[in-house]
Amino acid sequence: MLQIAHIKDNRDAVIAGLEKRNFKDAAAVVDNALEIDQNRRNVQQELDSVLAQSNAMAKQIGGLMKAGKKEEAEAAKAETGQLKAKSKELDEQLKVLSSDLDEVMYTIPNLPHSSVPAGKTPEDNEEIFKHGEVPVLHEGAKPHWDLISDYDIIDFELGNKVTGAGFPFYKGKGAKIQRALINFFLNEAEAAGYGEIQPPIMINEASGYGTGQLPDKEGQMYEATADKLFLIPTAEVPLTNMYRGDIIKEEALPIKHAGYTPCFRREAGSWGAHVRGLNRLHQFDKIEIIQIRKPEESYAALEEMVEHVKGLLEKLELPYRILRLCGGDMGFTAALTYDFEVYSAAQERWLEVSSVSNFENYQANRLKLRYKVEGKTQLLHTLNGSALALPRILASILENNQTADGINIPKVLQPFCGFDKIN
């Protein structure tokens, strides 16, 4: 969440940043927040004054009693009672105003970094890098949803029977490729200095608010209503919330974690070829990397994470490109996001496989995640990235490596799979 002091000191720049994100009624929302904050400050100031008067009166009563001035002491006690009633009333007002301010602030997204291009839709995103040659497939090449049926490695109908649409079963070599990808990605993360964590796959409401899934994305998450718990959309949420409310020792920085989890997305999208097969699921596997850094280090860390993901895709021999997302296509909490897309030769289109983002201090302010520098506490910066999400990576591997007599497995995965071909 943005800091109200920053909004107060930089009103026009904040509004301009929100407008770059196409945030509706930016000026009205900002001014509403500032008005509530000013009312809160006024009530706080009045409450402080009443409490000071009440404390001074309490000391005065003691002196009057010692001096034998009983009537004056009783009058002072009556006045103290009125001050206590007034302070209680002001305290209730303060709680309401603080709650109102939080509600407004939770609706305001992060401000975009200066490098974020203007735009409203994915078509306005900026391509900044491309690598690899698009493979030329044999005649009769198929999209992955036909290949998985031909080789009986993933079963959507069985998943639909047992759970519902978007919850596939991985079978035989399909299951082994999943495990191979998970182990490969985790090994690469460890080599890059990320400590492996296996986190819970359910979170409480405070964790959802901490990283910004609530109140923005509650419609996209599965909820265990009896316990007010949510299935995670990504390992970013539990990994980052490990440090909610903490003051990190400077010598413990930077913090780098990697976690493998299943991920759950309730809203999996509309019907059509672009969401067929593995292109969009309700449950999928992903390795997530997160970093917690000092503010002055976070953009260098972002580039480090980008290079890590590039290395994974190049080792898998997949053609890919990197997009810098425009203001209208970025996630609610991000200041800058790079999307990685892999080219699917059979579908003849680009598939998003990773997002790498710097949230600056937006999540940290929600989380109250700080460190001490020169005796003062300061908010840290948080970053996260997919390294990588499995479904579209697997789809691209199957499609791009198909031949007339089977599907070749990338060399880097063969030691993890125990086979070099699906046939």
- Which pTM value belongs to this model? 0.93
Same domain, 237 and 360: yes
d(CA 382, CA 397): 31
Binding-site residues, in ranges, read: 234, 265-267, 288, 352-355, 384
Give pLDDT, residue 269: 52
Q: 389 and 286 in contact (C-beta within 8 Å)?
A: yes
Structural domain total, the chain: 2
Q: Let me know if residue 112 belongs to a domain.
A: no
| 3-state secondary structure (DSSP) of residue 414 | helix
Same domain, 183 and 100: no
Same domain, 78 and 227: no
Same domain, 312 and 165: yes
Q: Let me know if residue 133 belongs to a domain.
A: yes
Q: Output the CA angle 422-281-185, nearest 5 degrees.
A: 55
Q: What is the mean pLDDT of residues 262-279?
A: 76
Binding-site residues for L-serine, in ranges, read: 234, 265, 288, 384
Specify the DSSP class assigned to residue 165.
T
Same domain, 20 and 73: yes
Same domain, 101 and 128: no
Q: 247 and 372 in contact (C-beta within 8 Å)?
A: yes
Q: Let me know if residue 331 belongs to a domain.
A: yes
Express each pLDDT in 14-53 by its tens digit: 999 999 999 999 999 999 999 999 999 999 999 999 999 9
Computed over every residue of the chain, the mean pLDDT equals: 95
Q: Output the CA angle 281-282-283, nearest 5 degrees.
A: 90
Which two structure tokens, joined as six digits, stand for 74? 């009783």
Q: Let me know if residue 155 belongs to a domain.
A: yes
d(CA 124, CA 388): 24
Query: Given a cut of 70, is residue 387 above it in pLDDT?
Result: yes
Domain that holds residue 22: 4-105
CA 141 from centroid of its chain's CA atoms: 37
Query: Given a cut of 90, is residue 57 above it in pLDDT?
Result: no
Helices (H), 368-421: 390-400, 414-417
Q: Which residue has tokens 């020169």?
A: 374
Q: Let me know if residue 71 belongs to a domain.
A: yes
Express each pLDDT in 87-112 by its tens digit: 999 999 999 999 999 999 999 999 99
Give pLDDT, residue 271: 47
Q: What is the mean pLDDT of residues 242-268?
A: 94
- pLDDT confidence tier of residue 65, bands split at 50, 70 and 90: confident
Binding-site residues for ATP, in ranges, read: 265-267, 352-355
> Where among 105, 132, 165 does a domain terminate?
105
Query: Given a cut of 60, is residue 268 above it in pLDDT?
Result: no
Same domain, 94 and 133: no
Q: Let me know if residue 83 belongs to a domain.
A: yes
- Higher-pLDDT residue of 365, 70: 365
Same domain, 261 and 137: yes
Which two structure tokens, joined as six digits, stand for 293? 């850094």
Q: 215 and 339 in contact (C-beta within 8 Å)?
A: no
- pLDDT confidence tier of residue 240, bands split at 50, 70 and 90: very high
Q: Choose the weakest-confidence range: 133-142, 273-282, 286-295.
A: 273-282
- pLDDT confidence tier of residue 267, bands split at 50, 70 and 90: confident
CATH of the domain at 140: 3.30.930.10
Same domain, 93 and 152: no
Give pLDDT, residue 149: 96
> Where among 79, 105, 131 does a domain terminate?
105
Q: What is the mean pLDDT of residues 8-16?
A: 98
Same domain, 99 and 126: no
Q: What is the mean pLDDT of residues 189-218?
A: 95
Q: What is the mean pLDDT of residues 399-414?
A: 97
> Where among 80, 105, 130 does a domain terminate?
105
- pLDDT confidence tier of residue 63, bands split at 50, 70 and 90: confident
Give pLDDT, residue 64: 76
Same domain, 132 and 70: no
Give pLDDT, residue 287: 98
Number of C-beta neighbours around residue 46 at 10 A: 15
Phi, psi of 144 (to 5 degrees): -65, -30
Q: Let me know if residue 115 belongs to a domain.
A: no
CATH of the domain at 61: 1.10.287.40
Q: Which helix (H) or strand (E) holds 337?
A: strand 336-344
Share above pLDDT 90 across residues of the chain, in percent, rounded to a whole number = 88
Q: Let me know if residue 267 belongs to a domain.
A: yes
Same domain, 77 and 178: no
Q: 17 and 112 in contact (C-beta within 8 Å)?
A: yes
Distances (CA, A) of 91 to 62, 87, 98, 324: 26, 6, 10, 46
